[in-house]
């Protein structure tokens, strides 16, 4: 018999990670089933804490793949067709948008990997394959040969590149394998080399934006972007680098990416507060006590730590797995919403863009996605999306 919400909340507060995981998995299925009813056809991005209701964001927004991504993971883990049915149409929606006025950019990996590509992997759907390859072509077309980077955003940001793109490289690696064409692999490796050289600092902290001269490729400056400043340390940027470089190692087996991911991981873990859930920027202020957390940085980093654990022999991988479990325990206990049936999101206390005063202490669909992805990996799920 299913536990009621109060019993479940109590159980989640008391046990070790190993003890709570079965109850959490049970709760997650109930939660996602409820979210399906609540979210309907919306493209969720942000839910404010007072209502817990997800918004309905435009379909070419960078976050539009995460809700269907949750559904595809649930389908893969359970085999239940209602998850597949709810996820099915999303890559078609993107394709329709791609032939209209749109703002697709460097983040097509975040959109097409958890929709078109995973759909093709799990069902063999040829339209999903076609759309995934079209997105990879689009991303490859954003490569700047002088600076060896994938350019960020659109409009006038011609020479800008951002650390977030580390996570989009899996789309290029997938395409290279899928059609046996090394061009995609070469572009992904070249961009990853730029991340290692210009974004990941010697101490393992990470820049958000690097501005290059788009004609000569020379570095002009580093910019703070969504972090507190050019020398600060935006925690979600670190999570993107950690997870992205670990993925790049999985595809290439080149140790320089493994070591880059480890460097970021060691820094990230050293900066965590007592509950293992990061503040939005590790260098936001001398004291971080009053600074908001970013649960999305925590869940994304936890998933990346599990990639590191899998990449290494057990004796070396164990500390990364245990660190991922500590982050998951902190997220589950202190930020998971298990006893408010009307609340549409899984985690509270994400921070979208603090310098722009935008989306602070809210639920974020990508925080929810990486939480589900990490739980799935800890349950033994093998079909990687990123």
CB 377, min distance to ligand GLY, A: 21
Question: Do 148 and 190 meet the contact criterion of CB atoms below 8 Å apart?
Answer: yes
Q: Output 17 or 61, the one with its CB closest to ligand GLY.
A: 61
Q: Tell me the binding residues for substrate.
A: 107, 164, 236, 240
DSSP label at residue 384: -
Site membership for ligand GLY, residue 294 (CB under 6 A):
no
**Helix intervals (H) in the chain:** 5-14, 17-39, 66-78, 81-87, 90-98, 108-112, 118-123, 126-140, 169-178, 182-194, 235-252, 255-270, 295-311, 314-335, 365-378
Residue with tokens 């990879």: 136
Closer CB to ligand GLY, 23 or 111, in the complex: 111
What is the rounded distance in angstroms from the CA atom of residue 154 to the CA atom of residue 160? Answer: 10
Q: Is 164 in the site for ligand GLY (CB under 6 A)?
A: yes
Residue 74's alpha-carbon distances to 41, 70, 124, 140, 379, in angstroms, are 18, 6, 17, 30, 12
CB of 334 to ligand GLY, least distance (A): 22
54 vs 62 by CB, closer to ligand GLY = 62
**Cα 31 from Cα 343, distance rounded (Å):** 10
**60 part of the interface to ligand GLY, by CB under 6 A:** no
- Is 107 a known active-site residue? yes
- The residue assigned the tokens 């069902």 is 123
Please identify the residue of the shown chain whose CB is closest to the bound ligand GLY. Answer: 164
Q: What is the size of the binding site for ligand GLY (CB under 6 A)?
A: 5
The CB-of-368 to ligand GLY minimum distance in angstroms stands at 14
Q: Does 226 bind ligand GLY (CB under 6 A)?
A: yes
Residue 283 · residue 260 · CB < 8 Å: no
Strand-pairing partners, residue 149, are 144
The answer to the question of residue 344 lying near ligand GLY (CB under 6 A) is no
Produce one character per residue of 9-41: b if its CB has 16 or more CB atoms within 10 Å, e if not. bebbeebebeebbebbeebbeebbeebbebbee
Least distance CB 226 / ligand GLY (angstroms) = 6
Q: How far is the CB of 323 from ligand GLY (least distance, A)?
A: 21
Q: Which is nearer to ligand GLY, 144 or 226 (CB)?
A: 226
Smallest separation (angstroms) from ligand GLY to the CB of 142: 15
Restricted to residues 165-224, the positions that interact with ligand GLY (CB under 6 A) are none
- Convert residues 62-101 into a mask of x (bound to ligand GLY by CB under 6 A) and - (unbound): x---------------------------------------
Q: Which two tokens stand for residue 66?
A: 């995460």
- Nearer to ligand GLY by Cβ, of 8 and 70: the residue is 70
Structure tokens at 143: 């490569």
Q: Which of 60, 76, 91, 164 is catalytic?
A: 164
Binding mask 231-270 for ligand GLY (x = CB under 6 A): -----x----------------------------------
List 60, 76, 91, 107, catalytic entry: 107
Q: Contact, 196 vs 260, CB < 8 A? A: yes
Q: Which residues bind ligand GLY (CB under 6 A)?
A: 62, 164, 226, 236, 352
Which residues are the active-site residues?
A: 107, 164
């Amino acid at each position: 018999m299913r536990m009621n919400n109060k019993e479940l909340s109590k159980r989640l507060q008391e046990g070790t990670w190993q003890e709570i995981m079965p109850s959490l998995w049970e709760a997650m299925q109930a939660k996602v089933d409820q979210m399906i009813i609540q979210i309907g056809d919306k493209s969720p991005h942000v839910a404010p804490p007072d209502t817990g209701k997800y918004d309905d964001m435009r379909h070419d927004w960078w976050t539009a793949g995460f809700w269907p991504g949750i559904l595809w993971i649930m389908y893969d883990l359970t085999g239940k067709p209602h998850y597949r049915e709810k996820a099915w149409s999303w890559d078609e929606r993107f394709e329709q948008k791609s032939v209209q006025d749109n703002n697709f950019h460097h983040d097509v990996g975040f959109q097409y990997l958890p929709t078109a590509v995973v759909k093709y992997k799990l069902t063999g759907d040829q339209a999903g394959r076609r759309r995934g390859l079209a997105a990879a072509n689009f991303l490859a077309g954003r490569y700047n040969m002088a600076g060896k980077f994938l350019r960020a955003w659109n409009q006038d940001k011609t020479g800008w590149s951002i650390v977030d793109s580390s996570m989009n490289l899996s789309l290029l690696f997938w395409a290279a394998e899928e059609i046996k064409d090394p061009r995609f692999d070469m572009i992904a490796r070249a961009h990853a080399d730029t991340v290692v050289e210009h974004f990941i600092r010697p101490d393992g902290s990470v820049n958000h934006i690097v501005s290059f001269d788009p004609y000569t490729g020379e570095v002009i400056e580093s910019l703070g972007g969504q972090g507190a400043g050019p020398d600060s340390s935006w925690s979600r940027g670190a999570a993107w680098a950690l997870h992205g470089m670990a993925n790049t190692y999985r595809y290439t087996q080149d140790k320089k990416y493994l070591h880059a991911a480890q460097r970021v991981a060691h820094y990230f873990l050293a900066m965590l507060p007592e509950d293992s859930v990061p503040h939005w920027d590790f260098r936001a202020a001398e004291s971080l006590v009053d600074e908001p957390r970013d649960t999305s940085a925590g869940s994304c980093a936890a998933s990346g730590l599990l990639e590191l654990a899998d990449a290494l022999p057990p004796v070396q991988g164990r500390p990364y797995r245990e660190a991922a479990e500590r982050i998951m325990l902190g997220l589950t206990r202190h930020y998971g919403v298990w006893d408010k049936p009307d609340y549409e999101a899984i985690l509270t206390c994400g921070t979208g863009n603090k310098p722009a005063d935008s989306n602070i202490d809210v639920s974020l669909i990508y925080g929810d996605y990486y939480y589900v992805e990490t739980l799935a990996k800890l349950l033994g799920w093998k079909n990687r999306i990123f």
